Amino acid sequence: MKSLEKLFSRRRFGMKMGLETMRSLLELTNTPYNDLEIIHIAGTNGKGAVAAMLDSIFNCANSSVFRYTSPHLLNLNERFFLNGAPIDNETLESAASIVVNAAEKITSDVTFFEALTATAVLIASKKKSAYKIFECGLGGRLDATNILNPRISVITRLGLDHCDYLGNTIKEIAIEKAGIIKPGVPIVMGENDIDAINTIKEVAERLSAPFYYAPDLIKKSDLPSKIMPPGAFNRENAITALAVAKVIGFDIIKAKESLSNVIWPGRFQQIGDIIVDGAHNPPAAKALANEFLNSEKVVLVAGFCSDKDVKEVLKILSPITKEGFAVKTSSERSLTSSETMRYMQESGIKSQACKSLDEALAKAKSLGGKILITGSLYLAGEALVKLGAYPWKNGVIAPGELLKATN
């Protein structure tokens, strides 16, 4: 796993916007990236879920599918799916070694995400899948994935997140996300506020890209009664995924049937009375809170990274919370449990700081009722392992063996 360890160490280079390094990296690896014709997905929330749903839709029809998403919960393999399962260690190590060797020849620093994206492009180019789904990491216009040519572009729900990079208004963020739209290539947009819709539509018209608003193509009443993952916000994502399938010309009856088979762990995942959701920004927190508005209040177990809008997230979750337990996540950017407890208290949540997730869960269970674990995908991954609900055990790096989540 030496190449993976070298690749993983590139997280220290941080975040970088622009495509020149990606172009150099892919040319050095002799990857024919111009020929892939991907399904390209950008957005603030829901893009990973839409990618997972499309993966399930295409797999249900026995089509070969490659999917690249981020972040992962526990294992790096989770970012690279081939025909419904995470890529095996051997394939990942082989591709990573080629990328790492190329990265060492480039004078500019190659970031972790650039290296991962180049690895994904290399794998996708060799596997010759009928469908190739790529999720943007951040933004769209200058995201590493935007070096690829789409057969269709997709934009999910937009909200205020990563404002330091993308802008402080929905319109500014929409302009950045609209950077994935290419001349003449269809664009499907999920349900959004009017400012976002108008901005994306204007860019599409300027580029002669056919514009499709998902709720105009697929109605809520068209959805099957059961979809996975559950939750109203995932029904919104399902509408977007089905709209993409419809524009591509896929059999919608088969597409609907596949929505009950989607595996997307850590996103409104229910294990008994416990719900695990990696919501870590205000739009995701609002969608999550809406699920509990007409039910009993939950016991909140939460941990956050320091670069998130923790105050706003907890302000949104406060009305649905009867008591909170704060924990530290495994991220080097994590707030301490005491810091998270203080934010909880400032939001009006009666709370305690806990030394571990085990302690927090024991105390939460003693209160009875539903428990919500949220705030970070780091925490979501740890919780799923403790609860015996992590779905992938064979053929991928064992949880905690080498690589941990990067949300």
- At 334-373, the pLDDT tens digits run 999 999 999 999 999 999 999 999 999 999 999 999 999 9
Query: Do both 206 and 282 map to the same domain?
Result: no
Per-residue pLDDT at 127 = 86
Residue 330 lies in a domain: yes
Query: Do both 51 and 168 map to the same domain?
Result: yes
CA-to-CA distance for 265 and 278, rounded, in angstroms?
Answer: 9
Residue 182 lies in a domain: yes
Query: Do both 41 and 102 map to the same domain?
Result: yes
Give per-residue pLDDT as tens, 222-251.
999 889 888 888 999 999 999 999 999 998
What is the residue range of 75's domain? 2-261
Residue 10 has pLDDT above 70, yes or no: no
Torsion of CA 339, 345, 349, 355, to 10 degrees: 30
Mean pLDDT in the chain? 88
Per-residue pLDDT at 393 = 64
Residue 375 has pLDDT above 90, yes or no: yes
Residue 402 has pLDDT above 80, yes or no: no
Q: From 243, 261, 279, give the residue that closes a domain.
A: 261
pLDDT band at 407 (very low <50, low <70, confident <90, very high): very low
CA-to-CA distance for 297 and 161, rounded, in angstroms?
Answer: 27
Residue 118: C-alpha distances to residues 30, 162, 305, 323 (Å): 11, 23, 27, 44
Residue 287, domain CATH: 3.90.190.20
Residue 162 lies in a domain: yes
Token pair for 124? 């996708």
164 against 198, higher pLDDT = 198
pTM attached to this predicted model = 0.89
**Mean pLDDT (whole number) for 189-215:** 96
pLDDT band at 397 (very low <50, low <70, confident <90, very high): very low
Per-residue pLDDT at 72 = 87
CA-to-CA distance for 148 and 180, rounded, in angstroms?
Answer: 9
**Mean pLDDT (whole number) for 107-117:** 85
Look at residues 353, 203, 369 and name the one whose alpha carbon lies nearest to residue 292.
369
Q: Can you tell me whether residue 79 is helix, strand or coil?
A: helix
**Mean pLDDT (whole number) for 314-332:** 94
Query: Do both 222 and 308 map to the same domain?
Result: no
Token pair for 223? 């959805």
Residue 183, domain CATH: 3.40.1190.10
Q: Report how far apart the first and last C-alpha atoms of the chain are (Å, whole number).
A: 22
CA-to-CA distance for 321 and 291, rounded, in angstroms?
Answer: 12
Query: Do both 183 and 329 map to the same domain?
Result: no
Per-residue pLDDT at 157 = 92
CA-to-CA distance for 120 and 99, rounded, in angstroms?
Answer: 10
Query: Do both 306 and 257 map to the same domain?
Result: no
Q: Where are the alpha helices (DSSP H) in 292-376?
A: 310-317, 337-346, 357-366
Query: Do both 287 and 144 map to the same domain?
Result: no
CA-to-CA distance for 376 and 406, rounded, in angstroms?
Answer: 10
Asked whether 69 and 135 are in contact (CB, 8 A), the reply is yes
Pairing of strands 298-302, 371-374: parallel
Per-residue pLDDT at 190 = 97
Residue 400 has pLDDT above 50, yes or no: no
Give per-residue pLDDT as tens, 57-98.
998 877 899 999 988 888 889 999 999 889 988 899 899 999
**Mean pLDDT (whole number) for 197-201:** 96
Burial 186-210 (b: 16+ CB within 10 A, else e): bbbbbbbeeebbebbbebbeeeebe
**Mean pLDDT (whole number) for 34-61:** 92
Residue 308 lies in a domain: yes
Residue 395 lies in a domain: no
Q: From 213, 236, 261, give the residue that closes a domain.
A: 261
Query: Do both 65 and 212 map to the same domain?
Result: yes
Residue 325 lies in a domain: yes
**Mean pLDDT (whole number) for 303-308:** 91
Query: Do both 276 and 186 map to the same domain?
Result: no
Residue 399 lies in a domain: no
Give per-residue pLDDT as tens, 140-172.
888 999 999 999 999 999 986 554 445 468 888
Number of domains forming the structure of the chain: 2
Query: Do both 187 and 49 map to the same domain?
Result: yes
Q: Which helix (H) or strand (E) holds 205?
A: helix 194-206
Q: Which of 7-11, 43-47, 98-102, 307-311 has the lowest mean pLDDT?
A: 7-11
Q: From 245, 261, 277, give the residue that closes a domain.
A: 261
Residue 403 has pLDDT above 70, yes or no: no
Count of positions (residues) in the chain = 407
Query: Do both 274 and 227 map to the same domain?
Result: no
Residue 357 lies in a domain: yes
Q: Can you tell me whether residue 252 is helix, strand or coil?
A: helix
Query: Do both 242 and 324 map to the same domain?
Result: no
